[in-house]
Chain A
């Protein structure tokens, strides 16, 4: 299929334009052999359906990171096909630096269109660019756009057919010199006052004002997540499951009659009634846990996080946290995969690619897998431990945070090597474009439903099989010294630990019928988070770290789980 490839530096508004050009069908794909993600969509061009590729952002064609390598590989691959169209998107407010990539692309003789995005911003930043002169200098069509408002997008589509190769520098011409010449010819700057956004930029990056601001932003973010999640559950999902779905399940139940199939689909009745959390049937717990308890928090989490990502706040958080994170042997940008991990450890593990060395990735992946509960698990912990009050909740999350920090410090001390320093662009604050924000959130929710629901159903099925075959009982007896002796949990909790390999949310749910004390509940929640990642995360981590590092990491998980779980048990019961 013919392709239209969008190239550009990071933070030039590529995804907003991508989202304007493409229809509803958008796919997130992993580049083969890497964890670098890119987005694919489709558009109609000259009566033909063509593929639109949002290539990962790159500053130049000589890559310095894995994402940039992927961009360069994708370009090489695309060049094997002769009828592809190349669109190079530039940040109009930063013409000179962006032109570097443009000239490199032009040197390859690619049929191109150049887009000056964020055109609206040039007006209040005192920049004026002569588009006609720029076209002459580059030899390709130049179109001014504003992805967020849609300005210029129609013009871009109309002129796509004019893509053509442009100027090529002769061998003795210096690229930066030529760029300077183009800028001098096409751009005039006028003096202007600082905007409100720029003042905010300074405030949020200064240590003394930035740190309190960061704490405020994160607290606000989690308050909003809680509010959205709770509201969705209270006003939409619980009423739906309590009435409509309950009658569906009851009808299905009386149709089935008692038997094995009833036990698997509807599960055990609690006090003569269906209990969505405890019944452990595929139609009851298997549907209720992922859709009514976890999905609302997933929606809430990704809405807030995606907004923060698109606004340009994340790099600033990374810079503010850099000093602190270096104590753990990782640089500040690692805060981004850590936050992603709070949603789901899988994208968190994939996000570890922002870290450059194997040592950093090992530390970051291990402390995330050990101490960062995903939103599915947190949602269940909120629901179950939260019943026992805020103190119990704080004990769980406080312990996990402490483990995260202390384990990082220990690993940093005992692993050989050092961690490289941070070096990043700080993009300006921008109001996120709702169109691409919506697509991003939608993609992430889709992924959750697609990946999580089958695993939950499988987990519930497994629980039923293991219980009916008496395997859980046997495992319970075998591991009783560890589980009962050290952690102070009843032997039946082994069932939850087994299922936790599949889904941690279902595992937390399985604690309900055990009638645990508050202290046991706290220990169980912490242990379930720490002992091992769920299978989906494990697969990605294995891919990222390789067998040897994964084994090391798993060893650390087991040891720290028993140490922390045992200590917590002693402290709480003592």
Chain B
């Protein structure tokens, strides 16, 4: 795979990626892990609110929403260039 790492806000709706690392503090990481978001797992961006509002994601069976700034702190490796419609 040759795609470069981006952050969650760069993904398109419906696109999946593998989480590489968290740039945020340890509390943020702890909360993320509690919801199943941790390095290595596949995350799918579902949609986003307008005007840099919260981003909705899915990891396994869990759906979660996080602020735009938080989503910027999650570095991911996109799994496919062209998102397939779910």
Contact = CB atoms under 8 A, between A and B. Distances in A.
Interface of A: 59-60, 62, 64, 93-97, 100, 176, 201-202, 205-207, 315, 319-320, 322-323, 331-332, 420-426, 428
B49 A323 contact: yes
Given A421-B67, A422-B65, A422-B67, 15 more contacts: A59-B31, A59-B34, A60-B33, A96-B60, A97-B35, A97-B61, A205-B47, A315-B65, A323-B53, A421-B69, A423-B28, A423-B32, A426-B56, A426-B63, A426-B64
Contact of A207 (B53, B61, B67): B53
Nearest to B86: A194
B49 A319 contact: yes
Nearest to A323: B53
A452 B53 CA distance: 40
Contacts of B69: 421
Nearest to B71: A421
Nearest to A315: B65
B70 A423 contact: yes
Contacts of B70: 421, 423
Contact of B62 (A94, A320, A322, A423): A94
A12 to B, nearest CB: 12
Contacts of A319: 49, 53-54, 56, 65
Contact of B66 (A97, A201, A421): A421
Nearest to B60: A96
B50 interface: yes
A331 B65 CA distance: 12
Interface in B13-49: 27-28, 30-36, 38, 46-47, 49
B51 interface: yes
A187 to B, nearest CB: 10
Nearest to B66: A423
A426 B54 CA distance: 12
A422 B66 contact: yes
B52 to A, nearest CB: 8
A423 B30 contact: no
18 contacts: A59-B31, A59-B34, A60-B33, A62-B30, A93-B61, A95-B61, A97-B62, A205-B56, A207-B50, A319-B56, A323-B50, A323-B51, A323-B54, A421-B54, A423-B31, A424-B65, A425-B62, A428-B63
Contacts of B50: 207, 323
Interface residues of B, number: 30
Interface string B54-85: 10100011111111111000000000000000
Nearest to B49: A207
B contact face: mostly helix, strand, loop, or mixed: mixed
B18 to A, nearest CB: 15
Contacts of A206: 47
A contact face: mostly helix, strand, loop, or mixed: helix
A352 to B, nearest CB: 19
B53 A322 contact: yes
Interface of B: 27-28, 30-36, 38, 46-47, 49-54, 56, 60-70
Contacts of A176: 38
A424 B34 contact: no
A94 B46 contact: no
Contact of A97 (B36, B46, B54, B65): B36
Contacts of A95: 61
Nearest to B48: A207
A420 B60 CA distance: 26
Contacts of B36: 96-97, 100
A97 B59 CA distance: 10
Nearest to A324: B53
A208 to B, nearest CB: 8
Contacts of A96: 36, 60-61
Nearest to A68: B34
Contacts of A426: 56, 63-65
A468 B62 CA distance: 64
A176 B66 CA distance: 22
A426 B65 CA distance: 7
A298 to B, nearest CB: 32
Contacts of B54: 319, 322-323, 332, 421-422
A94 B64 CA distance: 13
A64 B47 CA distance: 26
B29 to A, nearest CB: 10
A94 B60 contact: yes
A64 B67 contact: no
A425 B32 CA distance: 10
Contacts of B46: 202, 205
Nearest to A101: B34
A206 B32 CA distance: 22
A205 B45 CA distance: 13
Nearest to B30: A64
A371 B28 CA distance: 33
Report the 9 A-B pairs with minimum CB-CB distance, sorted nearest first.
A421-B67, A59-B34, A94-B61, A323-B53, A97-B36, A426-B63, A319-B65, A423-B66, A207-B50
Nearest to B69: A421
Contacts of B56: 205, 319, 426
